[in-house]
């Protein structure tokens, strides 16, 4: 017997109620059963990705290299920023302007704006924000606890 599907009172099969019995198993049914029983796995994956982003280790580095806009979207979400047509606004409540350093860096394919915060109360925090390809000039202002990055 490869597995038994539970049938609802209306005669429809419910894949979340697949039960496996015996030694012969259909791989597809086992896979479905595993994911239905272990629904916490989606939450674990989400928390793992959030941890990697928080640690500055952006997941899916290949996608990030080939599609820099996706990296920018991850950083916008991580930093609670607001994406504007011409840049970003990043809330920096509690950060003093003298603790903030904004510089341009680049690698062989991409330009970045690097934001570094260093203070006794916060410690050190650095993020690289990819600039869009067509960007030749950018500016930054620190106004009312918000960092306004424009390109």
Rounded alpha-carbon distances, angstroms, from residue 109 to 31, 47, 113? 40, 30, 14
Lowest mean pLDDT among 29-38, 52-61, 63-72, 92-101: 52-61
Whole-number Å distance between alpha carbons of 57 and 69: 16
In a domain, 117, yes or no: yes
Statement to judge: residues 72 and 121 lie in one domain: yes
Predicted TM-score (pTM) of the model is 0.56
In a domain, 57, yes or no: no
Mean pLDDT in the chain? 78
pLDDT over 70 (residue 117): yes
Locate 73 and state its tokens.
């979207």
In a domain, 43, yes or no: no
Whole-number Å distance between alpha carbons of 116 and 123: 10
Q: Which residue has the higher pLDDT, 15 or 46?
A: 46
Locate 107 and state its tokens.
């690698």
> Sorting pLDDT into bands at 50, 70 and 90, what band is 149?
very high
Residue 32's nearest CA partner among 56, 8, 6 is: 6
Spatial neighbors of 101 by CB under 8 A, at least 6 apart, are: 115, 116, 117, 118
- How many other CB atoms are there within 10 angstroms of residue 41's CB atom? 11
- How many other CB atoms are there within 10 angstroms of residue 129's CB atom? 23
The predicted-structure confidence for 76-103, as pLDDT tens digits, reads as follows: 888 899 998 899 999 998 888 999 999 9
For 141, the domain range is: 68-150
How many domains in the chain? Answer: 2
CATH code at 85? 2.60.40.790
Q: What is the mean pLDDT of residues 30-41?
A: 77
């Amino acid at each position: 017997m490869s597995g038994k599907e539970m049938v609802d009172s209306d005669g429809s099969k419910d894949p979340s109620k697949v039960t496996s019995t015996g030694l012969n198993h259909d791989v597809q049914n086992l896979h479905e059963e595993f994911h239905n029983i272990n629904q916490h796995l989606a939450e674990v994956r989400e928390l793992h990705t959030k941890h990697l982003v928080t640690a500055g280790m952006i997941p899916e580095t290949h996608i990030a290299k080939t599609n820099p806009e996706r990296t920018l979207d991850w950083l916008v979400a991580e930093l609670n920023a607001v994406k504007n047509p011409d840049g970003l606004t990043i809330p920096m409540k509690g950060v003093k302007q003298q603790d903030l350093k904004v510089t341009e860096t680049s690698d062989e394919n991409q330009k970045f704006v690097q934001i570094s915060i260093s203070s006794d109360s916060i410690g050190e925090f650095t993020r690289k924000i990819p600039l869009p390809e067509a960007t030749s000039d950018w500016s930054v202002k620190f106004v009312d606890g918000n960092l306004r990055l424009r390109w």
